Amino acid sequence: MEANLMECILRVPVKRNVNDIQVWGNGELKKYTVNSAYECLAKQTRGTHHVVFEVLWKAKAFPNVVITTWRVLIDRIPTRVRLSRREVLMLLTVCGLCQINEESCQHLFIECKYAQLVWSLCLNWLGIVFVQHNDPKSHFVSFHCVQASFKQNLMLKGIWTTVVRTISEQRNSIMFKKRVVDANEIFQMTQLKSWSWLKHRSNSFTYSLQIGLLTRLYV
């Protein structure tokens, strides 16, 4: 990085008796804007791009829920394993739900037996059948219905984010409020939150919670 910085500095011609000016972009005299900065960053090829993020930001869910999902997909949730790797003193690194395996992001939201039960209840509820991947990104991408439209699948992606958010909240309640893990409670809260959030995020969503959230979704 130091070598790159020096290379950039050396490319700039230094002139005497000339006032300094602010330049943004490719040497053009234009005003800095957030949009121009975003366009500049979007053109960079650093990191690994994944189609999952193109869909995630369009999912029918509230921004804070989508942000939680984004942190899960890039493995930035402060799980016990991650905190331990950052040298945070931890008495235990086992999962807050099952108390058996180490609490990594992949385990907590996908592989844990309680998380698996929640996903199974959710799939039965929605009538979706698919192979559940251990990788969170692959799991998210596969959570769709081929008979549904793109807009309807965005609703399903919103439900996926709701499951993740609810599991996270349940895990925090167990850690900080000494609650007992209950997969059925997580699933029921997912149903309630999905109905409530979709009702506010989608103008075309008119389904009743009493008759089932997605009774006519695929019609």
As a whole-number percent, the residues of the chain with pLDDT over 90 amount to 41
Check whether 153 has a pLDDT greater than 50: yes
102, β-bridge pairs: 94
- State the pLDDT at residue 209: 56
Report pLDDT digits (tens) over 137-149.
999 999 988 888 8
Give the separation between CA 153 and CA 135, rounded to whole angstroms. 20
Residue closest to 125 by CA, chosen among 1, 202, 215: 215
Q: What is the mean pLDDT of residues 63-72?
A: 94
Q: What is the mean pLDDT of residues 16-39?
A: 72
Give the separation between CA 188 and CA 212, rounded to whole angstroms. 12
Give the separation between CA 80 and CA 74, rounded to whole angstroms. 16
The alpha carbon of residue 16 and the mean position of all alpha carbons in its chain are separated, in whole angstroms, by 51
Lowest mean pLDDT of 2-16, 74-88, 139-153, 191-205, name the range. Answer: 191-205
Give the separation between CA 47 and CA 219, rounded to whole angstroms. 40
As a whole-number percent, the residues of the chain with pLDDT over 70 amount to 83
The answer to whether the pTM exceeds 0.85 is no
Arithmetic mean of pLDDT over the chain: 83
